[in-house]
Amino acid sequence: MSRDPSDPMEAEFDTVAKWTAQVAVDLGPQYYVPAGCRGSGQPAALDWLLQSLRPAPGELLLDVGAGVGGPAAYAAASTGVRPVLAEPEPDACRAAATLFGFPVVQADATALPFTDGAARLAWCLGVLCTTSGPDAQLALLRELRRVVRAGGRIGLLVFLAVTGTLDDPPRGNHFPTSAGLHALLGRAELDVTAVAGSEDMPAPPAAWHDRTAAVERELQRRFGSTPQLTAANEQSHRIGQLLSSGQLTSQVLLLERK
């Protein structure tokens, strides 16, 4: 089956992921992590999650829906954790291997190729809303619980709907409400032990912002006329507008198995 270059989900998470890695490689190693964290991987949110997860140096961290691996690389540099990545899009998997060299498997978050209790720690950043709806979201949360051993911890970054109807929502996204998310967590037998609003966290350092902006400028210069980058940028713009208007909010949560 041929791929649709204008499909926003495929464009954002596969094709543009590949291009992002190409741009980062050309710009230099100091751009790898900021480039790989575009979207859901802001330093303050990652720091909050890592402080809550409390990984030990060398400990395994399962990154579910890892994208090109920027947050995993940030975690490894900050704490010495040892990431293993699961990502459904093939180009994103290749981009992660190119930039960071971590073990990466192509897998959907609702059907992870890990044994029960494979690790004490896992996280899943900005992925829940990209599923097809509540049933898939519940399956994802249950998979996270399954692969984390008893007493283990899970970090979650989520975008939540504040209003019942969203103005011009991005295609392919399904945003739970806070009440809906907590109902799903209860059904998945996961306890929420800490929550923070990521939109209230400090902005990234100037150097981080400048490197991210440089990556975005270069992506636009090279690929700005393509339907893939146009579609991906439109998705990001719509989410930004919904966050700015208060129709969406974002949170980071620490979860534990019941």
Q: How many residues does the chain have?
A: 258
A 10 A CB-CB count for 224 gives 11
Task: Please report which confidence band the pLDDT of residue 1 belongs to, taking 50, 70 and 90 as the band edges.
Answer: very low
8-257 homologous superfamily: Vaccinia Virus protein VP39 (3.40.50.150)
Average pLDDT for 62-78: 97
| Side-chain-side CA neighbours of residue 23 (13 Å) | 26
CA distance 31 to 27: 7
Q: Report the relative pairing of strands 82-87 and 104-106 from DSSP bridges.
A: parallel
In this structure, what DSSP letter does residue 130 have? G
Task: Please report which confidence band the pLDDT of residue 4 belongs to, taking 50, 70 and 90 as the band edges.
Answer: low
The model's pTM is 0.94
Instruction: Render pLDDT for 93-142 as a digit per residue (tens, 0 to 9).
Output: 999 999 999 999 999 999 999 999 999 999 999 999 999 899 999 999 99
